[in-house]
Structure 1
Amino acid sequence: MSPQLRQHFEKITPLSDQEFEYISTHFVAKKFKKHQFLVQEGVPVPNDFFVIKGLVKASFTNDENKEHILQFAMEDWWVCDYQAYFNKTNATLNVDCLEDTEVLCLSLTNREKLCAELHKIEHFFRRKSNSGYIALQQRILSLMNSDAKGRYESFLKQHPTLFQRVPKTLIASYLGVSRETLSRLSS
């Protein structure tokens, strides 16, 4: 199993070789090509995804067919439609690959099993969830309180490598600005 996954867990909690070996048996490795979906709107979401290699975006398309990007996820990031995953409902988001991508899939059943059996894993996921809530709150406040320039500068500061990997039209969508506005901000 991926040493990357072990390093990711151990940023929060140390694991013995035996613990990691057991944990890794609960993940399934999968590869996706550019433009393939990990999660598709209207379909059940059986897995959470840990990105080993590649880049994906989580987005929602409104009734006017306008795409709103909620998240980009690259190496060492988790991505999913968590509402559908935890509530066992159909997805309202699409999660699709911007590059060829390798992920480790964790079913809700296996996640719950690991959390029930290993306090360290429950602690890990609680910490990851808390970090996710904080990031989401910061993103919402940024959209409410910052102008386009402020959101752009914040994006560059928080995710400098993404700007090189993500098409500018998608960054514009993530920031809630037009492609033309993004061009003016980045020049």
Structure 2
Amino acid sequence: MSEILRRQIEKITPLTDQEFEYILSHFTLKKFKKHQILIQEGDTVQNDYFVMNGLLKASYLNQEGKEHIMQFAMEDWWITDYQAYFNQTEATFTIDALESTEVLTLSLYNREKLCADMHKIEHFFRKKSNNGYIALQRRILSLLNSNAKERYEQFISQYPTLLQRLPKTLIASYLGVSRETLSRLSV
């Protein structure tokens, strides 16, 4: 099952079997049941999570109690509260399992050790971070400049498989619209 991680790394940089075994030795496999929380708002964030199978959600609860979904993560995606992870501070987000999920966890210590030991992995994480910045910028611009219908169409185009796996209430929250608005858009 760890081949999914190897394939992702090798999209950016080739690895020998020995290199991959060394990289994998820094990860820990964890399983979470549906609705189980990986990170609770206010907790110190210990790990970055690479999703082997399943589906996760990162969300923020505002002062009025409204949930704002920041990110979903399915197979072959990474997720954590990056501000809290890199600064070793309290989480702003809650991350929970929407399906039974298996992840490979990577502590900040092990990430830094891997990057110090292997230029290839430092290069991999730099490229992944750059792609993450670009995706975040696109999401912010979409929220600022696109209407609800355009955001919904972008979501369908970018994440067609998520449409089948997520309840409409979660998609609506991610898009920043009401459930009723989403129902009108998806007709």
Shift of 1:38: 1.1
Number of the residue aligned with 1:84: 84
The DSSP-based 3-state class of the residue aligned with 2:160 is coil
Asked whether 1:68 is paired with 2:68, we answer yes
Shift of 1:3: 1.0
Number of the residue aligned with 1:43: 43
The unaligned stretches of length 5 or more in structure 1 are none
The DSSP-based 3-state class of the residue aligned with 1:161 is helix
Q: Return 152-161 or 3-12, whichever deviates more.
A: 3-12
Shift of 1:177: 0.3
Shift of 1:31: 0.1
CA distance in 2, matches of 1:153, 1:7: 29
The unaligned stretches of length 5 or more in structure 2 are none
Q: Percent identity?
A: 73
Q: Give a deviation string over 1:40-93, Cα, whole Å, max 9, x none.
A: 101111000000000000000000000000000000000000000000001010
Q: What residue identity is the alignment partner of 1:88? A: Q
CA distance in 1, matches of 2:3, 2:155: 29
Number of the residue aligned with 2:17: 17
CA distance in 2, matches of 1:124, 1:169: 35
Question: TM-score normalised to the size of structure 2?
Answer: 0.99
Number of the residue aligned with 2:112: 112
The DSSP-based 3-state class of the residue aligned with 2:56 is strand
Number of the residue aligned with 2:101: 101
Number of the residue aligned with 1:164: 164
Q: How large is the RMSD of aligned CA atoms in angstroms?
A: 0.6
CA distance in 1, matches of 2:71, 2:92: 14
Count of residue pairs the alignment pairs up: 187
CA distance in 1, matches of 2:2, 2:123: 21
Question: TM-score normalised to the size of structure 1?
Answer: 0.99
